[in-house]
Amino acid sequence: MVRSLIKRGAIAGTMIVGLEAAYALLRPSPYQPEFDPSGEFGDPDHPDLRVAVLGDSSVTAPGVAGPDEIWVTIICDRLSENRHVILQSFAVGGSRAGDLIDDQMKQAIDFRPDIIFVAVGANDAIMGVRRRQFEDNLDYLIGGLAETGAVVIQSGVGDLGSIPRLYPPLSKIVSRRAHGFDQAHWRVAARHGTAVVHQRSDDSGRWYKDRMLWSPDLFHVSAAGHARWAETIWKTVEPLIPESNGSH
């Protein structure tokens, strides 16, 4: 009897979480265009700095008014003070680590970048990819990118449970999964000598409380959210980039 009740409770709990996930992902939301942040920044007479970004909708940025508000554009604008920065984005909304390997990796390597940003992990965590599979894919991806000699900077994974569309118990489950996927980023970086953004050094509580950081669809971040991301990411980027850095 007890086992039967436990089993029924587990099934009911799984059904509730499944229904919440379906509602969170499929509920109607306002149309938000995506953008390509690729472009050039700074004086063309300055040394070139080639920047590639691979990733998902955290780069294509539904929820902002235009590409100038995307975190990677803000970063490249800062880098352009004494450099001619050439940014090329290969990101596609909805991508997981396996998609970056299949669709973005080769193009990024062929671009011959000096700096490579890799923004991935959120979709893997939310869409049920096994953590081990994610880490294997990320390891292959980062290993190949690191062989180029470029400075490789990984996004890590923030607290996805703060997404306003998610409610307990789903938000708590997603928070735990996101933490595990963030740890995978750090393990991969340790193996390949790359860098990871300290997403969890940011004040996660503010992401829960401040709706101004989120776009109207309550899933992607707003321009204010991208500005906050840029500040967090810059703390990782700045020490890695010498005062004068030309393309190789």
Which residue segment(s) compose the domain that 99 sits in? 2-240
Question: Tell me, what's the pLDDT at 202?
Answer: 65
Residue 232 maps to a domain? yes
Structure tokens at 124: 């893997």
Residue given tokens 């007479």 in the structure block: 45
- CA gap 186, 146 in Å, rounded: 15
Tell me, yes or no, whether 135 lies in a domain: yes
Give per-residue pLDDT as tens, 185-228: 999 999 999 999 998 876 666 788 899 999 999 999 999 999 99
Query: Residue 134 maps to which CATH number?
Result: 3.40.50.1110
pLDDT at 66 over 80: yes
Which tens digits make up the pLDDT trace of 29-55? 799 999 999 999 999 999 999 999 999
Give the number of domains in the chain. Answer: 1
Q: What is the pLDDT of residue 194?
A: 98
Structure token pair of residue 165: 């569309």
Residue 246 lies in a domain: no
pTM confidence score: 0.88
Q: Is residue 7 part of a domain?
A: yes
Residue 244 confidence (pLDDT): 44
Does some domain include residue 219? yes
CA distance 164 to 214: 8
For 120-178, how does the pLDDT look when each residue is reduced to its tens digit (9 = 90+)?
Answer: 999 999 999 999 999 999 999 999 999 999 999 999 999 999 999 999 999 999 999 99
